[in-house]
Structure 1
Amino acid sequence: MKRALAIAFLIATVAVANAALPVAGRSGAVFEIQAGPQLLVQFSHAEQALELLAERGWNVRDLRVRLAQDPYDATLAPVDVLLPSSLPLEDQFFLLVQGVVRKNLGESQLAGELSDLVAAHMAPPSSRLRQRWEAAFQAALWAGEIERTALLELLWRNFKEDGVRAAKSLDDVWRMVESRSNPEGVASALWDVALAALLAPQKLGWSVGPWAGASAPALAGDAAFRFVVPQVKFVALQPEGDGVAVLPGRLTRSAARLVLFYEDGRFDTLELEPGQEGKTSFWGVKAVLLGVLSLPGEAQASFAVRELRDYPVRLGAVDLVAEGDSWQLSWEVESQEEVDAYVVEVWAVAEDGGKIVDRQLIPTAGVGPALLAWSSEARPQPSQLRVYALTQQGVLARLFTTPVLDFSGEKQAPYTPEQ
């Protein structure tokens, strides 16, 4: 009680003298107090915050904290933490945690990033500085920075303050994170953090919304699939898949995910394995996000979003004419985007329902309206014709399937109304 009265007296003296006076806090920190209307509340809040930090293992003794009415007074000596009284208390808490952690980390290469990380996780969600950090995290991650975003977040979630204090470099962070899992497990965990930060940040306890660049309804400019490292190609001519992703076999330290956005706002993720085809149907899918993450050595992330409505082709009329053993298929293209060629698959009846007997490539200019045609004379008679568009980025999109009516009574291969 006596100490509280003494502090109140000192603060009152400061207010009268309009000067900065040092006050020793219970935690061992030294406060420099300038006159202001909320000094007593500000001082009490800072004291409690420092006691909390000390309990969590941070050294706060001899820390110099200035409670400043005028934070831009160049005549005053520098301090470890400057708390402008104009800021809300939750933002002052963010700055105090940030300053304490930065001083404790000393010459660490990651002192800046880690002090921001700890401050953001300890500050309340209402802190504007925390929200600004969350948005900056999303922007950096979307731009390809994986080590100083998702990797550090994973460090915090696995090791808390002990991991932060032990991390002197990114190599230290990788070693600690990999000590908990194999490389495949680390890649999966990094993807969980990255996709949550971009698509569902509330799962991380954040207050910001999903990253605007990862949403699909309104895409401006160039939304083509392009990647930094490594390259991922959509090139596969598989009959059952509307879109197939193939990863080159060299991606031994990399991981990729395909995110499917549905019309109702839900999304699913598909893990893509190196050297293996990952298949998914695009039926009912509004947009896809393809992300590639490379681990130590090239640690980068790359993301691209493509809206699927009318991409890459908006179709008009489709006609099929059969005469004897010849068939002619024509289709009207009202618009096309980045299309290199069209692929026509000829299916015939087989014991298991159907098989591909021919596949032909039809080149196209790739832009503007067009009328395309395909004809064939072959046996056995086809039961279905399937048409795909192959884009410049390697996306293979199924456009339509046409049954060939057989009036001779032969069995037709099964198909669905959706096809």
Structure 2
Amino acid sequence: MKKRYIILSVLLMILVIISEIFIYQKKQKVITIGIYSDSSWDVPNDNEYKFIDYVVKKFEKENPNVKVKYESGINKNDYLEWLSQKIVDNKAPDVFIVPSEQFGFLSSLGTMRNLNYFMDLSGLNTDDYYPTNLKAGMSAGKQYALPLESNPMMMCVNTDLLKKEHITIPKSGWTLNDFYRICRQVTKDTNHDGVVDQFGYADYSWKDAAQAYNAKLFNSQGTASYFNSDKVRQALTMMEKLYNLQKDYKVTADDFDKGKVAFLPMTLAQYRTYESYPYRVSRYSSFSWTCIRMPGATPDINSTYVNTSMVAMSSQSTHPLLSWKLVKFLSNNGDVQQKLFTYSQGASVLKSVMKSKDITENLQKENNADNALTEEKFVSIMAKSQKYPEFKNYNNVMQTADYLINNALENGNVEVQLSNIQNQIQEELAK
């Protein structure tokens, strides 16, 4: 009798446990997040899912009745196709990462929910962010995505080469005229064999020059272009001067790696990747270098372009409040943003994180101490930054512009071709 009682008690306990699990699962809500496995910035990434696994674990711990799920194995090149198909099938993830170059396209489809109401409801402090990063997720004055990670462009400088030529290392606030003067001074035949073997720059483009003049290329809707404007003309005239310094030579980033070039534009993600072990062993180990702000036509111009990856809530989500909670958690939680900096190659979008002692020490340890990207340098870079234009057809139009202008530079007839280039770009916008 006693044995039967024990068995019945055990069975009853099992039934209670099963019942509790069933009730818990009934209460438990599942939200999904769309992500890709590799870096947002096209640099090596050894950490893959470490960041998102950290986020999921931390978010679920703080929200016990929530389960966050994601689909693994999607790389960045396939991500837009994967996400588009999910949207078409009405199975879009509740929350999804938005690559910087795809924001214009995705916002044009109405796939992202307007976040202004949720921001007001939760009292989100927009001053937490660098303005350029926050603006990246705006369209027509509405916030459709919050910033996740930042990747500003910087100018890397071969400091050994400049010291050899008795040239002072430029400071933040230097100008395009300074850039041209130094490039002209260092471009020379150093071994007197009749062949130029030292150069001023590699990979500085007409787009960088246009940004240096704060030249507006398109209107915000992507319906009008301004390639025939005075500022664009000034930028291309300067680019022609720079191009002519070394037009008979194809100078590349490989030449910078070999210590033969003074300047090379580089993103923060590239800088962090190639100044750290093991990549530094094969790159930039034979000379000293540092990074500073991109030059502007005048010191006050926002001469630095910044790419920003973002996080958005799907307009199809059936759990909007919970999805907003995850969006804010990814973008605005200091611990999460600090972990993102550790596992990724870009920068946190929160001012407080980038100014923290841990980040400063991380940068010092990560890089050669003499050339490390300090907090002061980063703040200087972000203070004069601007987001990339964003409209549905931007990437395709810029490919056309790039081909036409580079061809004109090579043929030495930019001034003659500019009106024709303007007409062709306008036709492309109308498609």
What TM-score comes out, normalization by structure 1 length?
0.26
Pick 1 or 2: higher relative contact order, CA cutoff 8 A, min separation 6: 2
Going by fraction, where is strand more abundant, 1 or 2?
A: 1
Going by fraction, where is helix more abundant, 1 or 2?
A: 2
What TM-score comes out, normalization by structure 2 length?
0.25
- Which one has the largest radius of gyration? 1
